[in-house]
Amino acid sequence: MTIQTTHTAEVQELLNKVAGFHVEAGNERVKKIVHRFMSDVFQLIEDFDVTPEEFWSAVYYVGELGKNGEASLLAPGLGMDKYLDIRMDAQDEAAGLAGGTPRTIEGPLYVAGAPLADGFARMDDGTDETAEPMLIKGLVTDEDGKPLANAIVDIWHADSKGNYSYFDKSQSDFNLRRRIKTDEHGRYAARSIIPSGYGCPPEGSTQALLNQLGRHGQRPAHIHFFISAPGHKHLTTQINLAGDEFTYDDFAFATRDELVVEARAVEHSADGEKHGVSGPITEVEFNFQLVSTDKAELQARHERKRALENAAVA
């Protein structure tokens, strides 16, 4: 039996009042969005004949999600971050600003204010005994391949257990997080360790929903980047190391073909030697291309709540 009530005057009036349509105070855009959102929720409850038990379990789920601090982890798991990227790609296309290295999602684990280095940084603190050394390097250029000196390459990645410093309090401050200014040839380089993929907390809210969907909560080994240079569009992206079981099966939908890189394991490398690793090391090379723009609002990363974003930086 399908009970249909959403079309009634009583429910429509209720929705209007819920959204504050009957009062002057408040924000028009928020009112319209809440009206649409609650109308869709009511309709969903009707169409799926959602029971009170199901409804209240969803309410308490949202409460738990917030308590666990996992709202920004569930978002990419449900493809929302990817969808925002699809929209930004389409906006760029429409504005004639497509091209350059593709963007992909930021994720929830950035920490602002990492140490700034010129040309080269060592990113790991040397305490991860099981970690394998990695050397990552490349160029930042414009779309014509002209090197961009003094671009800021802001890098962050997980440790050999898939954990990120700051969120994992067992790591030192800013471990595996650095900002590197490109040299006069547009080059950046870093010595670090090979990151492992990330897995959602197995007992967390995100994984609980993913289980209901029959999905895993794993990300492949990846390295995050913000790249910025005056006169160019800010780039938020990641590279995925090829050969990971989850390279093309990322729960956060961040993999793009152009962003998958081979990690080359070598017995010895001149760059490694130069930066204190004489034995085996894995080399990763990736060049970034930025698109020119004079629009200031496109030259900075968009605002969102980020760890230490507004902290005083020494």
Residues at the interface with ligand MBD (CB under 6 A) = 73, 76, 105, 107-109, 198, 219, 252, 254
Residue 72 beta carbon to Fe ion: minimum distance, rounded to whole angstroms: 12
Number of H helices, E strands in the chain: 8, 12
Residue 271 beta carbon to Fe ion: minimum distance, rounded to whole angstroms: 25
Phi, psi of 190 (to 5 degrees): -145, 145
Beta bridge partners of 199: 218
Residue 233 beta carbon to ligand MBD: minimum distance, rounded to whole angstroms: 21
Nearer to ligand MBD, 108 or 133 (CB): 108
Q: Which 8-state DSSP code applies to residue 199? A: B
Residues that bind Fe ion (CB under 5 A): 107
Structure tokens at 297: 């609002």
Using CB positions, name the residue nearest to Fe ion. Answer: 107
Give the pairing type, strands 120-122 and 187-193: parallel
Nearer to ligand MBD, 69 or 231 (CB): 69
Nearer to ligand MBD, 277 or 308 (CB): 308
Cβ–Cβ < 8 Å for 244, 221: yes
Using CB positions, name the residue nearest to ligand MBD. Answer: 107
Residue 75 beta carbon to Fe ion: minimum distance, rounded to whole angstroms: 13
Alpha-carbon distance of 225 to 26, in angstroms, equals: 38
Of 193, 202, 182, the closest CA to residue 70 belongs to: 202
Residue 173 beta carbon to Fe ion: minimum distance, rounded to whole angstroms: 18
From the list ligand MBD, Fe ion, none, pick the one residue 105 interacts with, judged by a Cβ distance below 5 to 8 Å according to partner type.
Answer: ligand MBD
From the list ligand MBD, Fe ion, none, pick the one residue 76 interacts with, judged by a Cβ distance below 5 to 8 Å according to partner type.
Answer: ligand MBD
Kindly give the interhelix angle for 9-18 and 28-47, rounded to the nearest 10 degrees: 140
Nearer to Fe ion, 228 or 240 (CB): 240
- Compute CA distances 308 → 97, 112, 166, 235, 305, whole Å: 31, 5, 10, 20, 9
Nearer to Fe ion, 177 or 233 (CB): 177
Alpha-carbon distance of 69 to 67, in angstroms, equals: 5
From the list ligand MBD, Fe ion, none, pick the one residue 73 interacts with, judged by a Cβ distance below 5 to 8 Å according to partner type.
Answer: ligand MBD
